[in-house]
Structure 1
Amino acid sequence: MKIALQTLASAAFGIAFLAVSLFVPAGTLSYWQAWVFIAVFIASTIVPSIYLAVHDPAALQRRMTAGPAAESRPLQRIVISATVVLVMATFVVAALDHRFGWSSVPAWLVPLGDVLVAAGLLLAQLVVVQNGYASANITVEQDQPLVSTGLYGVVRHPMYFGALVMLIGTPLALDSFWALLAVAAAVPVLAARITDEEKMLREELAGYVDYSTRVRSRLIPGVW
């Protein structure tokens, strides 16, 4: 019951956060791209969360323990804080762009953006199904196993890959090209998080050094 209430509270907060971040700067509720984006976001997160609540509540609990305060490493607190600011900036710039018509996104690109958002979110959720220890904060638990199959056999950080896909799709889904600048600014922040996380994993997670020699790509296959 407790995890169910936490899931509902988290969902309610997420919806409120999206609504305020989008409709206030847009200056109107007549922003259909934002309504579709919110619907896609809800569907792509609530359904997998329900699945985890039933089949692996411990994994869901790890995903809900998030934010700068949940991080034990100083650099990660900075990274998460910067990430929150940049995500907020993405929403606000997209809404302002829509309001004032700074850019013109072709109609066919908006649903493509929603597809990327859904794909990225679902991919990130699939990672949690494959690895129940994939928490929202950087940590290695006692007796935590190394997962090297499935998506982890393609890149070492598939959850971040999903997050990147979602971020790229967000400005397009929200009818904005200018908001892509905030996404571009988030890329080096994500790289800093991965680099610091790998330092910890090499030191604390048994078998990670050998795994990193077998799976060469951190985030994007064949690129980095």
Structure 2
Amino acid sequence: MSDKSKGSVLVAAQFVLLALLVELPHGSLWFVSDVVGAVSVAVLMMGLFVALLGIVSLGNSLTATPVPKREAVLRTTGMYTLVRHPIYSGLILIGLSMMILSASVWGIVLCAALIAVLSYKSRFEEKLLLAKYPGYAAYASRVGRLVPFVGRLRI
């Protein structure tokens, strides 16, 4: 399977998982009070904000798959000073907000699957970035993968 095909499968998987989280019927693992709803909305807004800032920071290097464009430049400013994959971080926060609202075992399972897919996708992308950009290893040793200060590359 080519890198582009693998990247497309990973993108499709993340969106299927997000769609399932959105459409998931409510469970009864915990009571979804107004406070829980407000926390969920706050996490959702934070996720949208982080993902949007990641998209804006990428500029014309943005691509639909984790395979970098031929003409792309390495971005290490904006949200990329905090985490190497802010769009994925934002999607995880969005998934967490949906899980909170679902109050179900399936919400937890789907959110865990989303985190697993995005974690795998980030590692796949990083192999490509390490090959493309000589400065990526040094950058990755300073900046966390999906959470600030967590998952720095050991060189």
How high is the TM-score relative to the length of structure 2? Answer: 0.81
Measure the CA separation in 2 of the matches of 1:118 and 1:131: 20
Q: Identity of paired residues, percent?
A: 27
Could you say what the CA RMSD is over the residues aligned between the two structures, in angstroms?
A: 2.2
Of 123, 126, 131, 1:198 maps to: 126
Structure 1: gaps spanning 5 or more residues: 1-70
Q: Which amino acid aligns with 1:76?
A: G
CA contact (8 A) 1:116 1:169 kept: yes
Larger radius of gyration: 1
Q: Which has the higher contact order (CA 8 A, sep 6+)?
A: 2
Work out whether 1:146 is the aligned partner of 2:67: no
Cα offsets for 1:11-38 (capped at 9, x unmatched): xxxxxxxxxxxxxxxxxxxxxxxxxxxx
SS in 2 for 1:131: helix
Partner of 2:63: 135
CA contact (8 A) 1:140 1:205 kept: no
Partner of 1:83: 14
Partner of 1:110: 37
Q: Which amino acid aligns with 1:221?
A: P
CA contact (8 A) 2:66 2:125 kept: yes
Measure the CA separation in 1 of the matches of 2:12 and 2:54: 23
Measure the CA separation in 1 of the matches of 2:42 and 2:22: 17
Work out whether 1:219 is the aligned partner of 2:133: no
Q: Which runs of 4+ in 1 moved over 4 A?
A: none
CA contact (8 A) 1:151 1:158 kept: yes
Measure the CA separation in 2 of the matches of 1:102 and 1:147: 41
SS in 1 for 2:102: coil
SS in 2 for 1:108: helix
Map of 1:158-169 to 2, 5 A cutoff? 158-169=86-97
Structure-2 change in CA distance of 1:76 and 1:221 (3 Å): same
Please report how far the alpha carbon of residue 176 of structure 1 lies from its aligned counterpart in structure 2 after TM superposition: 1.9
Partner of 1:156: 84
CA contact (8 A) 2:8 2:65 kept: no
Q: Which amino acid aligns with 1:92?
A: E
Partner of 2:137: 209
Work out whether 1:170 is the aligned partner of 2:98: yes
Query: Aligned pair count?
Result: 147
Measure the CA separation in 1 of the matches of 2:88 and 2:39: 20
Work out whether 1:121 is the aligned partner of 2:121: no
Which structure's residues are more often helix, by fraction?
Answer: 1
Structure 2: gaps spanning 5 or more residues: none
CA contact (8 A) 2:54 2:86 kept: yes
Q: Which amino acid aligns with 2:132?
A: E
